[in-house]
Structure 1
Amino acid sequence: MAAALRLLLPCLLAQVWLAPGTAPARPQAPAVQNETLQVVRAPEEEEEEPWPPAGGQQLSEQTSDLGFSLLRKISMRHDGNVVFSPFGLSLALAALMLGASGQTRAQLEGVLSAHSPSQAGPGHLPALFRRLRQHLSRNQELGLTQGSLAFVQEDFDVKGTFLNLSQSYFDTQCVAVDFRNASQARTLVNRHVNRETQGQVPGLLDEVNPDTKVMLVDYVLLRGKWLTPFDPAFTEDDTFHLDKYRTVKVPMMYSEGNFASTFDQRLRCHVLQLPYRGRASMLVVLTERMSDHLALEDYLSAELVGTWLSSMKTRHMEVLFPKFKLDQKYEMHELLKQMRVTRLFSPWAHLGELSAISRNLKVSRVLQRAVIEVDEEGTEAAAGTLSEIVAYSMPPVIKVNRPFHFLIYEEASRVALFLGRVVNPTLL
């Protein structure tokens, strides 16, 4: 099996709550139940140009910084293994932003962009994300698949403009469903998601709220192949140190060749670049002292990563890296609330661009599931202070045998596709 971050699946659920005395939504049944809905033709896309366009670099940096902020929030809840996709979550929030207005939209834009709404038009961010998606999809060697599904209650009045823009910017497939039949709706959603994610997520939903009106699902699937694969003949069980006192045995992969790396003297950590085909890489960050890996997270930022990359030196070395698989699921709405994205989940949410009954519409959950498996062939997937960086000759052997962080990014855009922490490679 290819070593790859198999899948990250962010899922947004929007539920309508009708206030006392409010009339039900006007029926607008689709032509064919439980099949893809037809929407009006999307506007023509802008001409392709090399990445990054104006604002593209800021978008990538903001996406990465959103990921680092969420990692710190997750660490406040537990200190175990972590994996999620900043890119996938940003796509999901940008898709939902198409239906938002007022303060709700402003809060979403605040976590997705360094610019205020007054500095760019309402379609600026979605257009940038579309350009980024197009840039990534043209890289066939990268093995990245991204898509969007909108499950709509069959008699719920969704604005055609919202469906049109969702299709235009995110290629969203709209599927009619009857959420009032919760069991049937769960089966339908899980079947569609399982098909689109090539079987990597066979059962995303355990239950469905019958009051749900719209469910947005954005998925990212990465099947990355190492530029220089590890030779399985050299993989052997070896010791991985969980802390000072506990160890586990893990399959440790081995490779010898030219690798780019640097050493951060201030943070006392090694940074190793493991390249994929298709101009993408995994950055592995390994602190010198085992107990420092959590403290390192306070300093992580897009600016710091950029400094590491600019100081990389390529040298011949031996690398030992553990095989591992992680499967994590997060309630991102609770973490987003801590980042002042609150209107979206409250009765005061402004979702007038999604439906005419927006005053009764709110997002109830933002779920994200990520699975990463790393082996000899590759990776398959469903802090503002600058550190002092100096030239440093890493030892001829670097052995990743203690807790470490990883960042998978595409090199031209430097967007954070996946981010994680491995504390125990033997646990999901």
Structure 2
Amino acid sequence: MWAVLSLPLACLLAQAWLAPGSTLASRSPEVQAGLETLLTARAQSKTSQTSERRRAPEEEEGEEDSPWLSPEGQKLSGEASNLGFSLLRKISLKHDGNVVFSPLGLAWAMAALTLGARGHSRAQLEEPLLQTLNQTRPPRLPALFKRLRDSLSHNPELGLAQGSFAFIHKDFDIRETFLNLSKTYFDTECVTVNFRNTSQAKRLMNHYMNQQTQGKLPKLFDEINPDTELILVDYILFKGKWLIPFDPALTEMDTFYLDKYKTVKVPMMYRSGKFASTFDTNFRCHVLKLPYRGNASMLVVLMGIGDHLTLEDYLTTDLVDAWLRNMKARKMEVFFPKFKLDQKYKMHELLKQMGVQKIFSPWSDLSNLAVTERNLKVSKILQRAMIEVDEEGTEAMAGTLSEITAYYMPPVIKVDRPFLFIVYEETSRTVLFLGRVVNPTLL
């Protein structure tokens, strides 16, 4: 029988995230008693301090001292962003409603999986993220992502936190090398569970995720395959605060146009001031930049009603860079809707369509995971993303814009119809979240 390596990937935007120096809520005695039958803590100090840890190809001498904004780092950010744009197009083929997901979160999970994969299985995971990197040296995805994570975590104003869990079946003889490298590159916390008791395993894992995300993801795991040996969970928490908040007193109910014939009422925020924006004459779209604290921004892309799907076919990092280069700051009035989205995607289906297939098949090579020879494959990769936008900030903001100009009035951008949004970190140009808002009143 083939053992199943299930890989749910939780990428979310939490309205309140665990601030540096704070602690998780302690378990009640009742919860603790119910979990003790499943939980066996693995000694993290042993995995992080062992002197016998092997040096992986990613740890070549001198690499850890090189800055993130090296040519390789910049190229990796671009490839991760283009992966996100490709996934948006795949999602659009399935439905034309609201979308929110994290390209960075998926790229992180793919890089984490390469630590356990070999041969073609590893190559297919790396290919979407290494297309423009120098192939004359061994791939170094985990090291590059560690540098990116370190760079982002050194900016407390950004409001971004990332974590990783490895839920391991109690009888699965996992390689210490894999655990060591996962801890080194992704700060992975290991928890032992009994997947054969699916109801208790599900309760335990949901408990961990609920605590770590402060209740923003109470039920990530709906069902568990009893043949599961390992579940890897990567999560992202982002609480972005606007550089200049919207005034709640100015928020009013207003009309949002779903299409030419249907409308809904939404709470519309308002602020006047200097904003950077541009108009793309080729695609006939306005692009507005809404900055957060901590050197991050959201791009809001507004076209004519129904035209947002057309633009998605042409989204690339080169197009986004062109928008940013052509932006001019000027005084204007901005109307932007409050909204909340909650989306979940089967990323394994989308990755298969993009050529990442071997690791999901019975011929996958995950021999870097287990001490003894085992028949392992990845059964699924799931991503759940949540976003909430209000006057103070956002967890991945979406926006569309239409411009009304008058000779005697300041420009007005009113996001009152379906729009695309891109949340990115300025220095590395890393896309953190990507999506579209078609109906702000629906999750």
Question: What corresponds to 1:14 in structure 2?
Answer: none
Question: What corresponds to 2:150 in structure 1?
Answer: 134
Question: What corresponds to 2:310 in structure 1?
Answer: 295
TM superposition shift of 1:358:
5.3
Task: Between 46-55 and 195-204, report the one with greater CA deviation.
Answer: 46-55
Counterparts of 1:276-295 in structure 2, within 5 Å, are 276-287=292-303, 289-295=304-310
> Contact between 1:272 and 1:284, CA under 8 Å: does it hold in 2?
yes
Q: Deviations over 1:83-142 (max 9, x none)?
A: 0000011101100111001000000001122247843324x1110000000000000001
Question: What corresponds to 2:48 in structure 1?
Answer: 41
Question: What corresponds to 2:327 in structure 1?
Answer: 312
Matched, 1:379 2:394: yes
Q: Match of 2:323, SS? A: helix
2:272 pairs with one of 252, 256, 272: 256
Matched, 1:64 2:81: yes
TM superposition shift of 1:291:
1.7
**Whole-angstrom distance in 1 between the partners of 2:115 and 2:90:** 26
2:14 pairs with one of 6, 13, 21: 6
Question: What corresponds to 1:194 in structure 2?
Answer: 210
**Whole-angstrom distance in 2 between the partners of 1:110 and 1:186:** 33
Q: Deviations over 1:245-278 (max 9, x none)?
A: 0000000000011111111100110000000000
**Whole-angstrom distance in 2 between the partners of 1:359 and 1:33:** 24
TM superposition shift of 1:402:
0.4
Question: What corresponds to 2:402 in structure 1?
Answer: none
Q: Match of 1:397, SS? A: strand
> Contact between 1:6 and 1:381, CA under 8 Å: does it hold in 2?
no
Question: What corresponds to 2:364 in structure 1?
Answer: 349
Matched, 1:407 2:422: yes
TM superposition shift of 1:6:
2.6
The percentage of aligned residue pairs carrying the same residue is 64
TM-score by length of 1: 0.87
Task: Between 184-193 and 349-358, report the one with greater CA deviation.
Answer: 349-358
Question: What corresponds to 1:323 in structure 2?
Answer: 338
Pairs aligned (count): 389
**Whole-angstrom distance in 2 between the partners of 1:338 and 1:358:** 29
Matched, 1:95 2:112: yes
TM superposition shift of 1:222:
0.2
Counterparts of 1:92-241 in structure 2, within 5 Å, are 92-115=109-132, 118-122=135-139, 124-241=140-257
TM superposition shift of 1:155:
1.0
- Pair 140,240 (structure 1): closer, same or farther in 2 beyond 3 Å: same
2:101 pairs with one of 68, 75, 84: 84
Task: Between 366-375 and 200-209, report the one with greater CA deviation.
Answer: 200-209
Question: What corresponds to 2:27 in structure 1?
Answer: none
- Pair 135,423 (structure 1): closer, same or farther in 2 beyond 3 Å: same
- Root mean square deviation of aligned Cα: 2.1
**Whole-angstrom distance in 2 between the partners of 1:367 and 1:253:** 33
Q: Which amino acid aligns with 1:278?
A: G
2:92 pairs with one of 69, 75, 78: 75
Q: Which amino acid aligns with 1:144?
A: L
Unaligned runs of 5+ in 2: 1-11, 16-37, 398-406
> Contact between 2:169 and 2:229, CA under 8 Å: does it hold in 1?
yes
**Whole-angstrom distance in 2 between the partners of 1:358 and 1:284:** 50
> Contact between 2:256 and 2:417, CA under 8 Å: does it hold in 1?
yes
Q: Deviations over 1:39-66 (max 9, x none)?
A: 4336798655653124011010001000
**Whole-angstrom distance in 2 between the partners of 1:361 and 1:110:** 21
Q: Which amino acid aligns with 2:348?
A: H
> Contact between 1:350 and 1:358, CA under 8 Å: does it hold in 2?
no
> Contact between 2:333 and 2:413, CA under 8 Å: does it hold in 1?
yes
TM superposition shift of 1:381:
6.0
TM-score by length of 2: 0.84
Q: Match of 2:344, SS? A: strand
- Pair 219,412 (structure 1): closer, same or farther in 2 beyond 3 Å: same
Q: Match of 2:76, SS? A: helix
> Contact between 2:75 and 2:133, CA under 8 Å: does it hold in 1?
no
> Contact between 1:108 and 1:341, CA under 8 Å: does it hold in 2?
yes
**Whole-angstrom distance in 1 between the partners of 2:305 and 2:245:** 27
- Pair 120,357 (structure 1): closer, same or farther in 2 beyond 3 Å: same
**Whole-angstrom distance in 1 between the partners of 2:164 and 2:330:** 41
> Contact between 1:403 and 1:424, CA under 8 Å: does it hold in 2?
yes
Question: What corresponds to 2:284 in structure 1?
Answer: 268
Q: Match of 1:340, SS? A: coil
Q: Match of 1:55, SS? A: helix
**Whole-angstrom distance in 1 between the partners of 2:415 and 2:344:** 25
Larger relative contact order (Cα-Cα within 8 Å, sequence gap ≥ 6)? 1
TM superposition shift of 1:5:
3.8
